[in-house]
Amino acid sequence: MKTFILIHGSWHSAWNWHLVIPILEKKGHRVLTPDLPGMGRDKTPIQEVTMASAVEKICQLVDSIKGKVILLGHSKNGIMISQAAEYRSEKIEKLIYLAAYLIPNGKTQAEYSDQDTEGVLKPYVIRHPESASHSLRSEIYKDGLYHDCEDTIVQLAKLLLSKEPVASAITPLQLTQEKYGIVPRYYIECAEDRAVTPVIQRKMYKEMPCEEVYTMRTVHSPFFSKPGELCTILCKIATAQ
C-alpha cells in the first residue's frame, strides 16, 4: 500500500481526482487530494497566494503522514511537486509529472509556457491585475481541456474552475542535485494535449530525464477521460524498483 498525494493544475482543485480516488483505494492505496491555497475549498485570498505558501501546504501534508509518499503534479503544478521535493526529499518516494511542467533549477513555469506556441489556451486567458490572478474563458474548456471527456465534466468545470494566482508562475525554482535530484521522477505524457502540448512536454522530459515516460492517447485531463488507464500507470509506477 502506497500513499499518493495528487496535486491539481491551474484553475482547478481537488475535484479533479473524484474518478481516480476510488480506483486507487480499491487497489489498497491511500489517496490525498489537497486544494492548493486560494483554490477550491481553500479560502486564502487569491492575491495573498505565493509559490512559498502553496509549497508549504504540500510540505505540511507530507509531514503529517507516517512514511514516504508518492507525489503527483498535474499541468502547471509540476513546479509545486519539484519544489516540495527539494524541501522534503527524505519523505518523497517518487515524483510523477502528469502532462506537467518539469523544469530545471533557476527557471520559471512562465518561461516554459511561453515556449509552448502550439497551445490553444492563451488567447482565452483573462488577466485580473487587481488580484494578481488570471482565469480562463469557458468557451475553450471543451476544446482546450476536456475534448475527450464527457460533457458533464465541462458543466462541472463551469461551476468549479476559479482564478489562478500569478506569483508561482514567475517564481524561479530552487532545486539541488543533493535533495531534489535524488528523488526518482516519472513522466506521463498526454499525446493529444492542447493545453500543455506534446512539443513542450517532450522538451521538458528530455532536458530533465526521468526513470520512465508513459504515454497516454488523451488530451489534458486523463483523470476524467481515462481514469482506469491512468490508475494502471500509477500502480505500475508505485511498484517500480
% the chain with pLDDT above 90? 100
Per-residue pLDDT, 142: 97
Angle between helices 78-87 and 51-63 (to 10 degrees): 60
Per-residue pLDDT, 203: 98
| Nearest-5° Cα angle at 156, 152 to 157 | 115
Q: What is the pLDDT of residues 204-235, one digit of tens each?
A: 999 999 999 999 999 999 999 999 999 999 99
Q: Report the alpha-carbon distance of residue 80 to residue 58 in Å, rounded.
A: 8
Per-residue pLDDT, 54: 98
Per-residue pLDDT, 241: 83
Helix (H) or strand (E) run with residue 85 in it: helix 78-87
Q: What is the pLDDT of residues 34-55, one digit of tens each?
A: 999 999 999 999 999 999 999 9
The DSSP output letter for 36 is P
Average pLDDT over residues 91-103: 98
Q: Report the alpha-carbon distance of residue 218 to residue 235 in Å, rounded.
A: 19
Per-residue pLDDT, 118: 92
How is domain 3-239 classified at the CATH fold level? Rossmann fold (3.40.50)
Residue 100 near residue 78 (C-beta atoms within 8 A): yes
Average pLDDT over residues 179-186: 98
Average pLDDT over residues 180-186: 98
| Edge-to-edge strands, sheet with 133-136 | 125-128, 133-136, 164-165
Per-residue pLDDT, 138: 97
Q: Say whether pLDDT at 106 is over 90.
A: yes
C-alpha cell at 66: 507516517
Average pLDDT over residues 125-140: 97
Q: What are the domain boundaries of the chain? A: 3-239
Average pLDDT, the chain: 97
